[in-house]
Structure 1
Amino acid sequence: MTSNPDFEAKLARYADLLVRTGVNLPQGGKVRVNAPVEAASLARLVARAAYRAGAADVRVVYGDASLDLSLYEDGSDEAVDFLPEWVAEQSERLVADGYAFISLTGEDPTLLAGVDQGRVARRSKAMAAAMRNVSRATGGMEVNWTVAAMSTPAWARAVYPDLPEAEAVARLWDDIFAVCRADLPDPGAAWEGHLDRLERLTALLNERRFAALHLRSELGTDLTVGLADGHIWQGGAETAKTGVRGVPNLPTDEVFTAPHRERVDGVAVASKPLSVRGQLVEGIRVRFEVGRAVEISAEKGEDTLRRLIETDEGAARLGEIALVPASAPVAQRGTLFLNTLLDENAASHIALGRCYPTNVQNGENPEALIAAGGNDSLIHVDWMIGTPGTDVDGVREDGMREALMRGGEWVVG
């Protein structure tokens, strides 16, 4: 990592942004930081920013994706299937104790491309099942959390393969700083203006009470997404049940809600590759009938996609529809980042699997969530279908339509 003073200043502002805007850590608050081993320098800055904000406790846990590779290549079947109970219990206890979560992501998007995808699927399903309570708690905003990017050599090489490693890492950092507004003198103030814009859009969509959305793109997407009864649009900042307002994703340019799991029909064609389970899935095309994926294909990684959709009954249905303008800062970089956090904020997208309970009225009640049409699953996987030519209409119960997006841009709000 360079010692350039300008870079160090931006990195410090970025760390402060994660603490003060991302989880908005209050005086006396507690925070858990999940980070790849390559992120030690950033994690230390996050810890300093948290303590300056008045944190009572900062816990940093480092992960090493290469250990996952070792497990899949050299571990026994028993090792792949084994997961100590205390792993989930520890996270559940942190949620119960009110810890906020800051997660740094920068994994190699193709790390597991050469391993047995059946083993990866088994491990992923076991982990998702073990962490179900934690996923529900964070998805229901019981505590604040934020996910943010960290430039790592492996990820940077994948994004910028023609650059020397050091230049690739620096270039990716420039991208991250720019889309997160950490390259500005006062990132927090810049975020407040942006969050206000997203809040106005969600208020408008919640007022309209559309029954469905119809999306069309030049790639072949022609998809009608019925919305859950009593659906709620969200975007930008969210207020946790602790009363603290934070931003779950940095960056974020989406507004999103819950589809009705049985009212999705038509074809969705991916506009970007999906990085999932350590490999890239490209050229995705899925046809839905009565909410379920009935025809599935991909030009690359189709086996991974199929195993993902076969995780459980809800994995073949949608849990999220999100609208993102084609002019969003991530899209303006003109780079395919091979990372869902960034790429999903460059294009409108849908998610297979679990919906967020906060996207449905009374969604914290599992029975009410299902009755409203919300979807449940062990997975929640976003994939991008928006393009610069995407049109989106809101459809009312009586069939009347209102243009929401034309040519990938908002025409309302």
Structure 2
Amino acid sequence: METFEHYLDKYAELAIRVGLNVQKDQTVVIMTPIACADFVRKLTKKAYDAGAKDVVIDWDDDEVKALRIKHAPESTLREYPMWRASGLEEMAKDGAAFLQIYAPNSDLLKDVDPERVAISSKTTATAREGFLKYLRSNQVNWLMVSFPTAEWSAKVFPDLSEAERIKKLWEQIFKLTRVDKDDPVAAWKKHIETLTEKQNLLNNKKYKQLHFKAPGTDLYIELAPKHQWVAAGSESERGIFFVPNIPTEEVFTMPARNGTNGTVRSTLPLSYQGSLINGFSLKFENGRVVEATAEVGQEVLNKMLDMDEGARYLGEVALVPYDSPISQSGLIYYNTLFDENASCHVALGNSYPFTIEDGTTMSPEELVQNGYNKSLIHVDFMIGSADMEIDGILADGSREPLFRKGNWA
């Protein structure tokens, strides 16, 4: 029987060799909570084994961040250490690879004034906009993976002891990232090929619109005129193939900014900036959210939508079958990296330039002309279910079934 350390080693190897695909003499930047320190050390060793010339750790601490948002003068929340933002941007400009460990605590800020959270979030997003542009346009190779913390595991398995729930969550991560396979790299190669087949099928169809229909959802999403579907792997500006999310089960593209109409209801909770938003519905008119209601987290939802003008428009639409491995686990992960790969989803906010033809070489004005939405945020939320039906609508108005009963038709 394989040991936990054996699987953890394979997980780190998968992240460095397949997800990030570290190149010889490349700098690797790991952005991580301090709770993940042991795993960071393992990743660092793997990165050097892969030929990295340096590994830079950008440590963070959720508890300290929460204390600052709760207690610091409000004027301080409007400030961000620009040396930190410019440092990340400088390393991106020099071709570094970026690995983020995402271990959310969706209850961290539930009792904090949402206005203070919104101020801090907007300040951070504004300061890091230049850096995030490198990631959102795939100018660098980057990766997001998750690590079970006590707080996150408590949301997923609230009835277990801390040791048991962390063990159980690790088992799920190893399974859903295919680390439990004899050869995870070969398993990922096959998985990427399967997703690429769906990507190619959709790109050949060139649908003008998608129509989503499910309980609480009747939504038309017009696709950007030059949209292109993307799945699993991407190629950086320097020609490095990488897989930015592990796990991933989605095929996604760019909606036309002003082309979404109708109503959509979320089907899984959204963990956003240390708070939970659940049971929410959005009404769109000409691309813009004009009504928003939530059973949990109404004020947080309102602040998110008011982040900037682009926050009320869609930047991404993604197709994920209901029978995906993450969905079939029967768990809610309270972690968008996992939950978005259990369900069809859309994202409010910024579009990805690489989801339209030649988007990464377009000027900002050209991007806007081609349906691009600009925003400080990019927030995925889940809308898929076993009842989801999706039609692809062609330029001549004819329809084709894409999803029935939550899965590919």
Give the TM-score normalised by structure 1. Answer: 0.97
- Indicate whether 1:120 and 2:122 are aligned: no
Distance across 2 between alignment mates of 1:51 and 1:101: 14
Aligned to 1:231: 227
* Unpaired segments ≥5 residues, structure 1: none
Distance across 2 between alignment mates of 1:94 and 1:375: 26
Aligned to 1:134: 131
- Indicate whether 1:83 and 2:47 are aligned: no
- Superposition pairs for residues 21-32 of structure 1, below 5 Å? 21-32=18-29
Aligned to 2:162: 165
The Cα of 1:211 is off from its aligned counterpart by: 0.4
- Superposition pairs for residues 7-22 of structure 1, below 5 Å? 7-22=4-19
Structure 1 counterpart SS, 2:371: coil
* Contact residue 104 and residue 271 of structure 2 kept, 8 A: no
- Superposition pairs for residues 96-107 of structure 1, below 5 Å? 96-107=93-104
- Superposition pairs for residues 268-347 of structure 1, below 5 Å? 268-347=264-343
Aligned to 2:380: 382
Structure 2 counterpart SS, 1:166: helix
- Indicate whether 1:266 and 2:262 are aligned: yes
Distance across 2 between alignment mates of 1:30 and 1:404: 42
Cα-to-partner distance string for 1:322-367 (whole Å, 9 max, x where unaligned): 0001111111111000010000000000100100010112323211
Give the TM-score normalised by structure 2. Answer: 0.98
Structure 1 counterpart SS, 2:279: coil
Distance across 2 between alignment mates of 1:292 and 1:35: 34
Distance across 2 between alignment mates of 1:94 and 1:55: 14
The Cα of 1:88 is off from its aligned counterpart by: 1.2
Letter in 2 for 1:410: W
- Indicate whether 1:398 and 2:396 are aligned: yes
The Cα of 1:55 is off from its aligned counterpart by: 1.3
Aligned to 1:189: 186
Cα-to-partner distance string for 1:284-319 (whole Å, 9 max, x where unaligned): 101101111111100010110011001111110100
The Cα of 1:392 is off from its aligned counterpart by: 1.0
Distance across 1 between alignment mates of 2:317 and 2:357: 16
Distance across 2 between alignment mates of 1:56 and 1:343: 35
Aligned to 1:356: 352
Identity of aligned residues (%): 39
Distance across 1 between alignment mates of 2:260 and 2:297: 24
- Indicate whether 1:371 and 2:369 are aligned: yes
Structure 1 counterpart SS, 2:299: helix
Structure 2 counterpart SS, 1:383: strand
CA RMSD of aligned residues (A): 1.1
Aligned to 1:38: 35
The Cα of 1:19 is off from its aligned counterpart by: 0.3
Aligned to 2:71: 74
Match of 1:203 among 197, 200, 215: 200
Aligned to 1:409: 407
Distance across 2 between alignment mates of 1:66 and 1:312: 27
Distance across 2 between alignment mates of 1:69 and 1:220: 35
Cα-to-partner distance string for 1:148-176 (whole Å, 9 max, x where unaligned): 01001111011111000110111111111
* Contact residue 362 and residue 368 of structure 1 kept, 8 A: no
The Cα of 1:199 is off from its aligned counterpart by: 0.9
- Indicate whether 1:154 and 2:165 are aligned: no
- Indicate whether 1:95 and 2:92 are aligned: yes
My pick for the range that moved more, 275-284 or 22-31, is: 22-31
* Unpaired segments ≥5 residues, structure 2: none
Structure 1 counterpart SS, 2:295: coil
Paired positions, count: 407
Aligned to 1:62: 59
The Cα of 1:5 is off from its aligned counterpart by: 6.4
* Contact residue 99 and residue 143 of structure 1 kept, 8 A: yes
Letter in 2 for 1:392: I
* Contact residue 362 and residue 369 of structure 1 kept, 8 A: no
Cα-to-partner distance string for 1:205-227 (whole Å, 9 max, x where unaligned): 1111110111111x221100000
